[in-house]
Homo-oligomer: A and B are copies of this chain.
């Protein structure tokens, strides 16, 4: 096609995002010493590596000015209505089809970036909630200790009160509501055995600082 006669180097490369995904330690690939350089491609007619300039279609990159305009337009509005498409087509000297394609691809790019952002905020929230949970565990431990202490003091300091009601009445009395939350998933913390000291951390530890990649489908 050889759209756009102009040509400018390129836009700046953004940061290498998403790089932490490449932790496939599952396998090694140390070889790769590439012998046998056989001049690949004299088979289909010698038109292989560069596709000799048939005076059309070289997929030139868009100029910086064009990209700036497109990007500005995209920031204003992620979708492209026909009027804007035609206007941009005229202003930038590109085919309307090129404008449409650019917006398609730009939306796709935006979506993956969005997932990335979403992941980051979720991870942050996960860490916050994990810390809060840890604090609550500590507090539960502390309160249990205080209860034990008080109970023993009661039994020592006062000789009455034989087998009335000391501490074993945990989890049965409900001081407040909101105990219906535990309906799905495994009952991890259980929260019913007050003097069960080690809480069973279960899912707490991973912490997601350095991700682990199991396998690839």
Binding site for B on A (CB under 8 A): 1-3, 18, 21-22, 24, 27, 29, 31-36, 38, 40-41, 43-44, 47-49, 51, 54, 56-57, 75, 77-79, 81-82, 86, 89, 95-97, 110-116, 118-119, 122-123, 125-147, 150-151, 153-154, 157-158, 160-161, 167, 169-171, 173-176, 178-179, 181-182, 185, 188-191, 194, 202-204, 206, 208, 211, 213, 216-217
Contacts and interface: CB of A to CB of B under 8 A. Distances in A.
B147 A147 contact: yes
Contacts of A118: 21, 119, 211, 213
A31 B139 CA distance: 57
A147 B143 contact: yes
A207 to B, nearest CB: 10
Interface of A: prevailing SS: loop
Contacts of A134: 178, 181
Contact of A140 (B27, B122, B139, B157): B139
B48 A97 contact: yes
A197 to B, nearest CB: 8
Given A1-B51, A56-B47, A160-B157, A32 B142 contact: no
21 contacts: A1-B51, A21-B115, A27-B78, A29-B81, A40-B89, A41-B95, A54-B54, A75-B217, A113-B217, A129-B130, A132-B202, A136-B139, A136-B189, A138-B175, A138-B191, A139-B170, A139-B189, A142-B174, A143-B143, A146-B167, A146-B169
